[in-house]
Amino acid sequence: MIDPSLLKSWRIDMSHERPDILIAGSPERSDFRMVIEDCRGELFVVEALSFKLRSRKRRIAEILEQLRLNGLMPVFPYRRDSKGSFLLEHEGYFWQVVPYLPGIQLDRPGYVFDLWRGESAANFLLEMRSAAPVIVEPAFSLPRYIEQLMAAIRRNRQDISPQVDIMYNYVKDHLFPVYDKLPVCFAHGDFHAINIIWKERGIAAVIDWEFCGLKPELYDAANMVSCLGIEDPECLWSGAPVSFLEHLRLSGKYAEISFRHFTDLMIAFRFAWLSEWLRKNDEEMIRMEFDYFDILSSLARAGGQDGSSVQLFK
């Protein structure tokens, strides 16, 4: 139960909780969350966070506010309380509040063939690039992350080590030598269709910014395309990934080296998803990742040495 007096700090006069409303995004991003309705009928998401998350959550809230101030409209910052803080300590938790936004449910997996979704997602990345705040921090190292994951797999999952080694050897040979040469920019960090609240023919909001920061400039694009493709690999030749990549490339905002190693980056990104399936003991998805690697590595080989990633999906 949410204490109504807590919300007074955000000048919200709570009427009642709305457990009937499902909240988009991962429930693992907070210890507790609930939609509430105020006395005017407006809806808000109220989240409770543990002490260990407070610094990171405060930093994310600051970034989202800056993105919105810089004109990125599909971003809805957390509310500041009456003291100007994004987080309020109450009964052993830190609390935050953000407006609730309804969306249109995705038709899965058919949505991956909607060309307009690819263009909308590409436009968001281009707009975010223009609105991005200045980030002074080391860029995320995907090779280092993969090396650490490989060490854990070799200790704990020797049954799948041979198959994971094939994936690892691919990215070690094709991506690791050039990774530090890829231009970086501010990235959402977990950009895919499920972390978008969709409206008719467009994006209402992008959510779940927990992994935002400096990353290779096509990092978000690689995650988006790889997630679309695992829903239905056929879309890689005729669906949203085609319009998405073409729109990004025609913008002229991205370096050729980034496109040249785009499929390699997609394959490397699948290690993050493999880690998720291992954590959840989802053996079916683990096996699917190995099958998907075969598809992606075949695409990479078909692309030849010129690395024209857009050509891979035509």
Give the pair of three-digit tokens for residue 138.
């080391």
Which CATH fold topology does 110-304 show?
Answer: Aminoglycoside 3'-phosphotransferase; Chain: A, domain 2 (3.90.1200)
Nearest to 23 by CA among 197, 155, 216: 197
Contacts of the segment 80-86: beta carbons below 8 A, 24+ positions apart: 81/9, 81/10, 82/9, 82/10, 82/11, 83/9, 86/57, 86/58, 86/61, 86/62
The DSSP code for 217 is T
- The 10s digit of each residue's pLDDT in 230-257 is 999 999 999 999 999 999 999 999 999 9
Q: How confident is the model over 19-75, as pLDDT tens digits?
A: 999 999 999 989 999 999 999 999 999 999 999 999 999 999 999 999 999 999 999
Domain ranges, ordered by start, for the chain: 4-99, 110-304
CATH class of the domain at 4-99: alpha beta
- 301 — pLDDT class (breaks 50, 70, 90): confident
Same fold, 4-99 and 110-304: no
Contact 122, 247 (CB under 8 A): yes
Q: At what angle do helices 283-302 and 161-174 cross, to 10 degrees?
A: 30
